[in-house]
Every structure is written in structure tokens, then in C-alpha cells.
Chain A
Amino acid sequence: MSRKKKRRSLPYKDVELNIMPFIDIFSMLNTFLLFSAVFLSVGVLDVQVPFLSNQPPPDDPKDSRVFQVFVDVTKEQVEIQTSYTRAPEQLQKFPFPSNSDGIKLMHQKLAEIRKQNAGTDKATVTSDDEVTWESLAAVLDGVMLRLEGDPIFPPAKDAKNKERAELDAKIYLYPKIVMGSVMFK
């Protein structure tokens, strides 16, 4: 015996969705998001100025010969200077034009220098008085920050906060930047 279900077609009913609450929520969400939206993202460049201290230098015997990196910025050019703290000083100078291409080349040279002297994570930047903050920021970018393709250098062994140092190693080429021209007269 076959039981056949009789399909009764439901009478067509025009159903309307009330989308007004939906629009209300969207409007509120829009207002809130428009207020909290950040259209200009702000970052920071960490630098330090030289200071006098009466504490002995950490693990730095008097007769040690330390490699040092200087970057001198003028309106016309950016010059990398490398030398040792004790004789033979082996002073070397690498000038680059003060434009975006020159800064790219400077960064490549600094990455090369850092590869050869991985232990030196500090660079001293000196600048002419007439250099604008815009130009200086571009140079600081080139000196401090790692670009894609640059190797990651191991963090300093004496770093107090290991986690922070490891994170910094991924971000920075030279994590310590000293503004060398800031000296009290």
C-alpha cells in the first residue's frame, strides 16, 4: 500500500524583512568607527644623546680596540666613516649623495659593514645645523632599520631583556643610534 503524501502548496505570502534595526546598528557602528579611525599612522625613531657618566664602561678593558661607525650628514652628502678606537685606526670613508638613491646605497654599505662587524650595534650620527628634520629622518631610517633581504644579526650578549633584544634584532640594522652632535657648549 503506498502512502502518498499529498503536497499542499502553501498559499503565497509576501514576507517583508524589517531591516530598520539592522540599519540602526550599522549607523551606530559607523559613527563609532569614524570617531576612532586613525587615518595617519604615527611611529617613532629611538635615538639617544651622549651623556657623561661616572660609572666604568661595562666589560670594556682600557686597551680594547673597538670598531666604531659614524654617519655624517650634510645638505649635499651622507658619509659613513668607520675606524677603530685604538691604533691602527684604519679610518675609512664612504660618501653618498644626500638623496633617496644615495641613502639606499648608504644602507647597503652599512649592512655590508655590519656583516663584517656583527658585534658593533651602535652607530653615531652627526649632522650639519642646516639639515632639515625631514632629510635627517630619511638618513636615520637608512641607518637604523633593517630592510627586506638584510640579514638578522644576533642580539648583544649583555642585553638585559633578551626577548626585547631578539625583537629589536628583527627590526633594526643598528639598534643603538647616538646623536653625536648634541653636545653642551
Chain B
Amino acid sequence: MASVGGGSKDTLSLNLNPMLDIFSILITFLLMSFSSDPVSHDVDAGIELPQSTTIVALDEIPSIIVTKTEVRVNDVKVADIVAGDVPEKDRSQGAVYPVFTELKKLAEANKRLAKTVKADDPTAKGSTGALTMEMDKGHRFKLMKRIMIAAQQAEFVQFKLMVQKELN
């Protein structure tokens, strides 16, 4: 029994039942929202994802993150975004050049890895795999296209575009 000491001999007892009730409800709620998704990724604070009814879960950490102000490849800032587009100096033939150079390195690494995995098959060609992209919902397709063209030139043709699942 919890008691408060002191000079007086009076004993105070704390009723813990309401606290236990709250804890039980909280645990039930948290257990219900416990995610069994293969990857747990915290969306960047500067990004609002568009809503979607997709049930396909995210299975890898995004390689390209496009916030309202910058483009990041593997968490390294490669370009700024000014007025919804990359500056002229970072553009080349419709693509974002710094994104292309970073993705080219990533593609080479992915290919080497794929070849190592399929080492017993001499005809096997290394694959670059899919590219996961996290982008703010307010950006225009113009910017997405520039990034996709850069990725396409770096031999990435499959994209996983991150969205926020609608809760039913």
C-alpha cells in the first residue's frame, strides 16, 4: 500500500485501478497500430505524401528524397529546388545532372552486387533494380520527369513512388 510518511500516523492509499485501465487501453491501441511492414521509414518532416489506396507496402528505404527545397540521393543533398524546379546550372538535356552522377554510382554498385549474387550463372547480367522515390505532393510532374530522366540515363527503369496509404 502506498503511503505518505511523516509525523502523522494517517495512511493515504492511492487507487491505482484507473491508471491500470488507461494503460490497458493504451496498450490495446498501440498493439493494434503495431506495424508488421517489412520496412519502417520515417517520412521526412518537410514532405507531405499524396494519398493512395494502394495496399503494396514499402519494402526498401527510399534512395531519392525530394523535399520542398532540395533533392537528396541516399541522404546526400545533390541539388537545390528553387521555385519548384532545379536551377539551370544543374540541368542537362531535361535531366538533373547531379542526380544522374549519383545514381550512376548506385547503379554500378547494384550491378556488381547482382552479379556476385548470381556468380554461378556466367550469362547473368547485373540488374540495377528498382528505385524508391519519396516526393512532396506539391511538386509538379516537370520536376519528377527531370529526376526520372536522370535515373533512366543511369539505367534505372523501375520506380517505386512513395504514397501515404489511406486509412479506411
Tell me whether A133 and B136 are in contact (CB under 8 A).
yes
Which residues, 126 to 185 on A, are CB-close (under 8 Å) to B?
A: 127-134, 136-138, 140-141, 144-145, 147, 171, 179, 181-185
Which of B30, B31, B52 touches A43 (beta carbons < 8 Å)?
Answer: B52
Residue A33, interface by CB 8 Å: yes
How far apart are B102's CB and chain A's nearest CB, in angstroms? 18
For the A-B complex, the count of residue pairs with Cβ-Cβ distances under 8 Å equals: 167
Mostly helix, strand, loop or mixed at chain A's interface?
mixed
**Contacting residues, chain A, for B162 (C-beta < 8 A):** 42-44
Do A23 and B52 touch across chains, with their CB atoms under 8 A apart? no
- Number of residues from A at the complex interface, CB < 8 A: 49
Closest chain B residue, CB of each to CB of A39 = B33
Instruction: Give A contacts to B, CB under 8 Å.
Output: 16, 19, 22-23, 26-27, 29-30, 33-34, 36-51, 127-134, 136-138, 140-141, 144-145, 147, 171, 179, 181-185
Known: A43-B165, A132-B138. 11 other contacts (CB 8 A): A33-B30, A42-B37, A44-B54, A44-B59, A46-B159, A47-B161, A49-B148, A127-B141, A133-B139, A141-B52, A184-B153
